[in-house]
Amino acid sequence: EEIQLKEEAENNLAAFRADVDAATLARIDLERRIESLNEEIAFLKKVHEEEIRELQAQLQEQQVQVEMDMSKPDLTAALRDIRAQYETIAAKNISEAEEWYKSKVSDLTQAANKNNDALRQAKQEMMEYRHQIQSYTCEIDALKGTNDSLMRQMRELEDRFASEASGYQDNIARLEEEIRHLKDEMARHLREYQDLLNVKMALDVEIATYRKLLEGEESRINLPIQTFSALNFRETSPEQRGSEVHTKKTVMIKTIETRDGEVVSEATQQQHEVL
């Protein structure tokens, strides 16, 4: 949104600059036209003054000729008529010239007033455009400051997140190493437990075997005593004596399969041996 406002402000600024340039060109054109009209007015004044001087010179020449010919009585009336005609023509020309001059001056004055109004309006619009440009410039500067602050905060957050992520990665690596170490310890403890269990089972088997042997020896020792007491002696052959005592040895083999420190399978197998 800030970028969009910035672009819109820049576009408006460019449009205002174009309008200001157009107003400046229009002002220059109006000033040139006013200068041209002033020059034209000065030229017309000069022409009018020259025409008036020429008419006055002609009237003076006619008056001189009339005065020179006053001695001629037959030409007095004719000269009087001619003088009246020239005076009428001169007055008419002067009146027409004054009317034309006044009309031209009025037209030029109206055009100058219009041009002045247009120039004043253009200056007013240019001032408004300048105020708008200043306002947009201040707004753009404020947006730039906000953008710089946001960019600085974003960089700080990125640096902090990168540092935290690095710390998390280190913690993860350390925990994974601890997990591997614990799995190795667990596997070692399981192997030791299995070895101890096998030793215990072997000891139990040996104890049971010794117990059976002891029980067999006791029964074999007690048997002649009972025979003698009953006065019933029976001789046994070596084959029969060998078959009287039978000792069974039972061996239990427990197999535990581990994988990554975890027990996967467990099996127990018994083997019987006759001693």
Distance, in Å, from the CA atom of 274 to the CA atom of 249, rounded to the nearest integer, reads 6
Place of tokens 């600059």: 17
Phi, psi of 74, rounded to the nearest 5 degrees:
-80, -15
Do 130 and 241 fall within a single domain?
no
Do 253 and 201 fall within a single domain?
yes
The tokens for 149 are: 């602050």
Residue 246, classed as helix, strand or coil, is: coil
Burial of residue 53 (number of CB atoms within 10 Å: 0-12, 13-18, 19+)? exposed
Q: What is the CATH number of the domain that holds 64?
A: 1.10.287
Do 92 and 150 fall within a single domain?
yes
Question: How many domains in the chain?
Answer: 2
Distance, in Å, from the CA atom of 270 to the CA atom of 254, rounded to the nearest integer, reads 9
Do 137 and 217 fall within a single domain?
no
| Full residue range of the structural domain in which residue 30 is found | 2-169
Q: Per residue of the chain (275 residues), what is the pLDDT tens digit?
A: 666 766 776 777 677 677 767 777 877 777 787 787 778 777 877 877 787 777 777 767 665 554 544 444 455 666 677 667 767 776 776 677 677 767 776 776 776 677 667 777 777 877 887 787 788 788 888 888 888 888 899 899 888 888 888 888 888 999 999 999 999 999 988 988 888 988 888 898 888 888 888 877 665 555 443 333 333 334 444 444 444 444 455 556 666 666 665 666 767 666 655 45
CB-CB contact of 250 with 208 (8 Å): yes
Residue 6, classed as helix, strand or coil, is: helix
DSSP 32-84: HHHHHHHHHHHHHHHHHHHHHHHHHHHHHHHHHHHHHGGG-TTSHHHHHHHHH
